[in-house]
Structure formats: C-alpha cells, structure tokens
C-alpha cells in the first residue's frame, strides 16, 4: 500500500472511532427519551421500538404523580441556594487567592484541594444530627449548605483561575484613573469575569441538581427530585422512573451547553 492510501485508511479508522464514541454517548440518552416519550403501555411492552411514539402519557403520569412537582420545585430551590452560596462565598476567596500573597495562602489552598480526597456526600451523616439540633433538618437551606460544601471548592478554584486571567494591570490602571478598590472591581473586573462567574454558578447548580446521597439522607418531607426518585425506585413503575430520568437529564444537556466554553478553562487551572 502506498503512503497516502495508508493515511487515508488511518483517517477512515479515526472517523469511525469518533463516530462510535459519539454513538456511545448519545445512544443511551436517546433510548431514555424514547421511553419517556412513549405511552406507559409501550414502555412495558415487548419488543421495544427504537423510535418514540411521542405520546405524552408517561410524562403527564410522572408530573401528575403525587410529590413530583414538589420534589422538582425543591430541587430547583436547593440548587439555586447552592449556586448563590457557593459563588457568594467562593468568589471572594478566589479573588483573594488570585490577587494577594499572604501568609496562610498555601494552607487555604491545601484545605480546598484536600476536599477532593474526601468522599463529600458522607458529610450528610454527621450533619443530619447537627441539623436536627439547629432545626435545619429536612430544610432547603440545610441541604443547600451540604451541596455548597461540594460546590465551593470548584467555585473557589474556578473563580481563582478567572480572576488570575484578568491582568492586575487593568485593575491598577483603574486605580490610577480615580477608582477605589470596590469601584475598580465593579467597573473593570466584574464585567470581564461575569460570563465565567455565571458559568461557575451554573456548574454549582448542576452539582446540586444531580446530587443523590446527601439529598436522600437529609430530606424526608422536602425531598428533591433525585431523593424522590431514589426512595421510590423499588416501588415505582417503569414509566415513572424513565420519565423522572429524562426530567433529570434534560436540564443537564442545557447546562453543559451553557458552560461548554468554560469547561476546559475551569479544569485547566483546577489542576494546579
């Protein structure tokens, strides 16, 4: 075989590999949506069709099921509080890390990075007791606090990388042009960092939206969607499970799309 044809064969293998990987990622999602968009009778029927009938009965059964709408609303609220808390607490820390050198900086970074070596959902166990004592048990805020612990290290590292990417000179220029620290931050740093901060907020939202273990441990009455689905797994009929799965997955598709530009910037620095 001549050299160009070897290369062409190699290219074909490459393209086939890429196609296979894309199929590997997308096909299972497709199948879940086939189930979610078929009537309950079709979901339990055999054999399955690989194309949905676009019957909304499964979905309306799911959304009409007692407790589902509440759980969905709880999930949104917990995720929203998590998002606000983790950015509100994490962004100042990220800014401090990016702009100052001070004794204790390394200790703080170590604390943040250390959270990675620990299975964080387990925190829910001792916190369950602490929350009962403080009246935070089974509340939106209580769960959001645990989810913030999961999201905070990311928020700190992501905002740290964002702020580090904005030259200090821009801030200094603003100071020499009549700004104090706060004005310079609002007029120069914030507009430049805003898209990235929004992306890391979305990321925090996703972390909370998807979390299962702590949510299941910490909520009883006010279950989030994941906790609700988990605790009814062995009793609920298949159409309910698949519609619930689809309800979990669909927002994720949009979230990841929204933050796609920042995924790599986030993880690139989060390495260090």
Under rule CB under 8 A, which residues in 233-252 are in contact with other proteins?
233-234, 238, 241-242, 244-245, 248-249, 252
Report the distance separating Cα 172 and Cα 93, nearest Å: 20
Q: Which C-beta is closer to other proteins: that of 8 or that of 48?
A: 48
Nearer to other proteins among residue 10 and residue 69 (C-beta): 10
Among 77, 179, 198, 237, binds other proteins (CB under 8 A): 179
Q: Does 80 bind other proteins (CB under 8 A)?
A: no
Work out whether 6 is an interface residue with other proteins (CB under 8 A).
Answer: no
Q: How many CA atoms lie within 13 A of 24 on its CB side?
A: 6
Determine, following the binding rule CB under 8 A, whether residue 173 of this chain makes contact with other proteins.
yes
The yes or no reply on residue 154 touching other proteins (CB under 8 A) is no
- By CB under 8 A, how many residues form the interface with other proteins? 111
CB of 100 vs other proteins, minimal distance in Å:
4
Q: Shortest Cβ distance from residue 22 to other proteins (Å)?
A: 5
Within 198-217, the residues that bind other proteins by CB under 8 A are 206, 209-213, 216-217
Distance CA(194)–CA(100), nearest Å, equals 21
232 is an interface residue for other proteins by CB under 8 A: no
Is residue 226 part of the contact set for other proteins (CB under 8 A)? Answer: yes
Token pair in block for residue 16: 């086939």
Residue whose pair of structure tokens reads 């120069």 in the numeric block: 188
Among 35, 74, 82, 219, interactor with other proteins by CB under 8 A: 35
Cβ pair 57, 39 in contact under 8 A: yes
Of the candidates 146, 141, 151, the residue with the CA atom closest to the CA atom of residue 127: 146
For residue 110, give every residue at least 6 positions away whose Cβ sits within 8 Å of its Cβ, in sequence order, or none. Answer: none
Q: How far is the CB of 127 from other proteins (least distance, A)?
A: 5
55: left (phi over 0), alpha (psi -120 to 50) or beta: beta
Applying CB under 8 A, which part among 53-61, 64-72, 132-140, 227-235 lies near other proteins?
227-235
- Quote the least distance from Cβ 69 to other proteins, whole Å: 18
- Non-local CB neighbours of 138 within 8 Å, separated by 6+ positions: 131, 218, 219, 220, 221, 222
| Residue from 156, 164, 221, 237 in contact with other proteins (CB under 8 A) | 156
- Asked if 226 and 75 count as a contact pair (C-beta separation under 8 A), the reply is yes
The greatest distance separating any two alpha carbons of the chain, rounded to the nearest whole angstrom, comes to 76
């Amino acid at each position: 075989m001549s050299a160009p044809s070897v290369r062409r064969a190699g290219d074909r293998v490459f393209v086939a590999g890429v196609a296979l990987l894309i199929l590997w990622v997308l096909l299972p999602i497709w199948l879940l949506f086939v189930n979610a968009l078929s009537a309950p009778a079709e979901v339990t029927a055999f054999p399955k069709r690989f194309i949905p009938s676009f019957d909304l009965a499964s979905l309306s059964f799911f959304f009409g099921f007692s407790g589902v709408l509440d759980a969905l609303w709880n999930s949104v609220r917990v995720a929203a509080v998590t998002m606000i808390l983790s950015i509100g607490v994490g962004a100042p820390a990220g800014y401090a890390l990016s702009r100052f050198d001070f004794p204790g900086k390394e200790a703080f970074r170590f604390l943040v990075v250390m959270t990675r070596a620990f299975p964080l959902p387990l925190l829910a166990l001792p916190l369950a007791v602490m929350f009962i004592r403080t009246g935070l048990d089974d509340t939106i805020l209580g769960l959001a606090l645990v989810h913030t612990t999961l999201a905070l290290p990311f928020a700190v590292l992501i905002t740290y990388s964002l702020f580090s990417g904005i030259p200090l000179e821009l801030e200094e220029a603003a100071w020499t042009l009549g700004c104090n620290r706060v004005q310079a931050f609002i007029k120069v740093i914030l507009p430049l960092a805003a898209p990235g901060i929004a992306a890391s907020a979305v990321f925090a939202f996703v972390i909370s939206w998807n979390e299962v273990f702590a949510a299941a441990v910490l909520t009883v009455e006010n279950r989030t969607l994941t906790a609700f689905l988990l605790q009814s797994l062995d009793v609920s009929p298949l159409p309910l499970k698949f519609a619930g799965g689809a309800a979990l997955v669909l927002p994720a598709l949009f979230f990841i799309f929204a933050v796609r530009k920042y995924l790599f910037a986030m993880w690139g620095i989060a390495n260090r």
